[in-house]
Structure 1
């Protein structure tokens, strides 16, 4: 019998689907916004205006983690996820009919706030709703829905009008809101945190396929963990040995994740393939990348509990470094006059290899590890803090990637990304704690050891 927790997590993960349509939206839509035939504006967009359309979304994500992380502790994980879904619906409707550039700026910023909140609250929701032995697979499943959202943008975006595509995304977001409202469950951890023990037991009876005795045991375990955790503030992260370790590991994993170049790849896929000299059109290459990302994410859910988190991060870091080094070298040689026409397959093959290795580790596994590193009483605050720092990096990459690639070439950008991926692999080898199959309490004991 399938646990009802899987149903709740799956319904919540559809919010991740909407989240990633926002991240990938610029790839098919930005070329139309600057096209005089399709553009809703009455003037041509400058390069700076184009970059701000891409950058306002990650700028908004800086505020999202703190805002919705706070709400998740006061109103519950489920209620907060529902609140996050509301601006997603409104922003897509605004983008469908807006005729002024500043309305797109506002919409992208508000969408970013929602995305930042979801990246904070959803991993906590999954971790708290899952059994220890299922937590890895369910956490990684979030990446599958990310990829489905990305693929929808690549497949439908280039071939639908701006109005039709954004209305479609708004309708999807509204449908997911209703489904999660009906089938989603609040986490037992939140109820116990609020001294609502009867509600916590009712949730466990609903979501678990185990017997009464196992449920009572899990309930007592959650009570014990939460009741023995003291109230904390953000500064306590730096005053505790275990929390300092958790903070260092989480912070650097998220930074390496972003400097790997993933946001640039997803947001500017069509431009990257065109600039890299691919023999296929940018639209088709982006679709291929989206399909590969989805398939590799599905495979990741199968291997998440076979290999350890640390092993997957090692493979991912060094694999991304190699694939981006090849792509960067190819593009650099092409832009500097070397005849590479016989190797025109290299851009698409390299980016496929990059996407596969990213999805096997630094994509979903990083969020899994971050959600497991902190105890319940500070998890929301710590995750929000780290996600906000991560989003600062994402903003700068989104804003200045087009400028840097125009000035120095796409090849130099990917060689720099490659170096940071290699550094991320080394960091994983020397510093990352293995969390596979361990309870949240065991992880805290090791961090404090």
Structure 2
């Protein structure tokens, strides 16, 4: 294993051999898009490139491109939230006679097919490119919404099922945005740009909640068609292909350099990135020839070998643990079952707070705090936000059973205030402040470039599969256990999450992708590479 690493990496570069690169159909983003340094402990503070950090004006095109690409994840929010509005309106429409089983399938199909879309997007974006992959994602969702426009009382279930399947697939394939953004965006602006991913998912959910109040479901489907179509046109015109993909897979050096200059108009920044590009190109020329005819079994063996190497295995395990805790600490289940949870907490939805207001309040809180997270992660980093989020979730969750225990038999005026509901809203706010958002961004930062496409799809699929089972299980937990016990368990899991973040999750703010990857080598291995 040590010999493999010593051969694969040189002192100032992290470059796989040409054979391994062609088999995995991916390569080193870091060498192309981040400054190199001979100081492995602080790669992004190299004096050689200290003057090559782009200003906001220089990086403006990068930022605009990242925002355009991030808008594709709106469709994931549309699909996630549409079921509640759709099924509620169908339930009161006498033209459609849906039974409980059909309702269950309509609601769960997007959750089932989203992981499949995530798995598809890895090989897809490596085969056809990041830009084409994102356009395929948008087109898949577009067809799904179009199908809903043709639903009639005479022919509805087959079209609805197909539409929901396509919606889930398209939503899952938006994972490509998490990979594209780190490949084109400078590390100075990368945290904020990755933070827009969860922010726009939240915006998609909020838009569905708002429009569902005064629009029929067919009009909503038409509206989403228009949004996705406009996004596709803008992507087609303005989105450049990833220079990483152009160089390492398409092997078009001229186009890669041209795109690199477009993304880096500042001459110093461009020269720094071009130096890395030339070093990578020379390394590939000197390496062994590509093995295009390699059998699938050998490709799989190599892929597993790379997966279990330290720079891949460690971030994979960290992300698997973090995503598992993200799913189990209760953030998603409370959002999905807002009405049921609020009723268990003692809300009768009479007077000022009705079901729609509760859903709208949840959506607004999640969206607002997602914006705060995107801005704050640019200033204070990932770890502090994750820790603050997890501890805030723990305190607000434990406050529910603690308050109910103290207030049993208490006739004070405090008991007239719906404090458990307030604590639940605070809990949701803290989830959106880090735990719900940042783990998705870390997928695009922690994973090494030679497995980023495949591994990102695997991780997102794993997270959505866990979400599906937890969402299915939660109604039974609500019926079986006292709500106070459920919130107490959530609080304990949030404490475990904070400990996990403190011990295992590294900070990525201000670090190049090369520097982040170096973090996962032992001191002995870093010395061997030097």
TM-score (norm. length: structure 1): 0.89
Is 1:342 paired with 2:411?
A: no
**Deviation of 1:105 (Å):** 3.3
Assess if the C-alpha contact under 8 Å between 2:335 and 2:362 holds in 1.
Answer: no
Q: 1:121 aligns with which of 160, 176, 179?
A: 176
**Deviation of 1:274 (Å):** 4.0
**Deviation of 1:86 (Å):** 1.2
**Deviation of 1:240 (Å):** 0.7
Gap runs ≥5 in structure 1 = none
Q: 2:511 aligns with which of 431, 438, 448?
A: 438
| Alignment-derived partner of residue 461 in structure 2 | 388
Gap runs ≥5 in structure 2 = 1-56, 288-298, 523-530
| Alignment-derived partner of residue 309 in structure 1 | 382
Deviations 1:231-259, CA, capped at 9 Å, x for gaps: 98541354312211111111111112222
**Deviation of 1:413 (Å):** 4.2
**Deviation of 1:51 (Å):** 3.5
| Alignment-derived partner of residue 93 in structure 2 | 38
CA distance, structure 2, for counterparts of residue 202 and residue 170 of structure 1: 33
Q: 2:430 aligns with which of 357, 364, 371?
A: 357
Kindly tell me: are residues 215 and 399 of structure 1, through their superposed partners in 2, closer, same or farther at Cα, counting changes over 3 Å?
Answer: same
Q: 2:333 aligns with which of 246, 264, 283?
A: 264
CA distance, structure 2, for counterparts of residue 226 and residue 256 of structure 1: 41
CA distance, structure 2, for counterparts of residue 375 and residue 227 of structure 1: 21
CA distance, structure 1, for counterparts of residue 148 and residue 487 of structure 2: 31
Is 1:10 paired with 2:67?
A: yes
**Deviation of 1:222 (Å):** 4.8
Kindly tell me: are residues 269 and 107 of structure 1, through their superposed partners in 2, closer, same or farther at Cα, counting changes over 3 Å?
Answer: farther
Cα root mean square deviation, aligned? 2.9
Q: 2:123 aligns with which of 53, 70, 75?
A: 70
| Alignment-derived partner of residue 26 in structure 1 | 83
Assess if the C-alpha contact under 8 Å between 1:276 and 1:331 holds in 2.
Answer: no
| Alignment-derived partner of residue 261 in structure 2 | 205
TM-score (norm. length: structure 2): 0.76
CA distance, structure 2, for counterparts of residue 378 and residue 4 of structure 1: 27
**Deviation of 1:96 (Å):** 4.4
Kindly tell me: are residues 203 and 158 of structure 1, through their superposed partners in 2, closer, same or farther at Cα, counting changes over 3 Å?
Answer: same
Assess if the C-alpha contact under 8 Å between 1:85 and 1:177 holds in 2.
Answer: yes
**Deviation of 1:404 (Å):** 3.1
**Deviation of 1:77 (Å):** 0.9
Assess if the C-alpha contact under 8 Å between 2:311 and 2:448 holds in 1.
Answer: no
Q: Decide which moves more: 377-386 or 325-334.
A: 325-334
Assess if the C-alpha contact under 8 Å between 1:38 and 1:161 holds in 2.
Answer: no
Assess if the C-alpha contact under 8 Å between 1:253 and 1:424 holds in 2.
Answer: yes
* Structure 2 SS opposite 1:41: coil
CA distance, structure 2, for counterparts of residue 354 and residue 226 of structure 1: 50
Kindly tell me: are residues 5 and 199 of structure 1, through their superposed partners in 2, closer, same or farther at Cα, counting changes over 3 Å?
Answer: same
Q: Decide which moves more: 215-224 or 309-318.
A: 215-224
Assess if the C-alpha contact under 8 Å between 2:141 and 2:169 holds in 1.
Answer: no
| Alignment-derived partner of residue 299 in structure 1 | 372
Deviations 1:202-240, CA, capped at 9 Å, x for gaps: 1122222422x3213113325646886999854135431
CA distance, structure 2, for counterparts of residue 360 and residue 423 of structure 1: 17
Assess if the C-alpha contact under 8 Å between 2:307 and 2:451 holds in 1.
Answer: no
CA distance, structure 2, for counterparts of residue 338 and residue 92 of structure 1: 52
| Alignment-derived partner of residue 295 in structure 2 | none
Larger Rg: 2
Trace 1:27-426 onto structure 2 (pairs within 5 A): 27-33=84-90, 35=91, 37-38=92-93, 41-43=96-98, 45-46=99-100, 48-98=101-151, 99=153, 100-118=156-174, 120-194=175-249, 195-211=251-267, 213-222=268-277, 224=279, 233-278=302-347, 279=349, 280-327=353-400, 342=415, 344-408=417-481, 410-426=483-499
**Deviation of 1:339 (Å):** 8.5
CA distance, structure 2, for counterparts of residue 349 and residue 26 of structure 1: 26
Q: Decide which moves more: 396-405 or 411-420.
A: 411-420
Kindly tell me: are residues 181 and 201 of structure 1, through their superposed partners in 2, closer, same or farther at Cα, counting changes over 3 Å?
Answer: same
Assess if the C-alpha contact under 8 Å between 1:27 and 1:269 holds in 2.
Answer: no
Kindly tell me: are residues 311 and 101 of structure 1, through their superposed partners in 2, closer, same or farther at Cα, counting changes over 3 Å?
Answer: same
CA distance, structure 2, for counterparts of residue 172 and residue 262 of structure 1: 28
CA distance, structure 1, for counterparts of residue 411 and residue 145 of structure 2: 44
CA distance, structure 2, for counterparts of residue 352 and residue 117 of structure 1: 31
CA distance, structure 1, for counterparts of residue 281 and residue 312 of structure 2: 16
Deviations 1:65-100, CA, capped at 9 Å, x for gaps: 221111111111111011001121122233344353
CA distance, structure 2, for counterparts of residue 330 and residue 38 of structure 1: 42
Deviations 1:254-284, CA, capped at 9 Å, x for gaps: 1122223333233333443344333511211
Assess if the C-alpha contact under 8 Å between 2:85 and 2:217 holds in 1.
Answer: no
Kindly tell me: are residues 110 and 378 of structure 1, through their superposed partners in 2, closer, same or farther at Cα, counting changes over 3 Å?
Answer: same
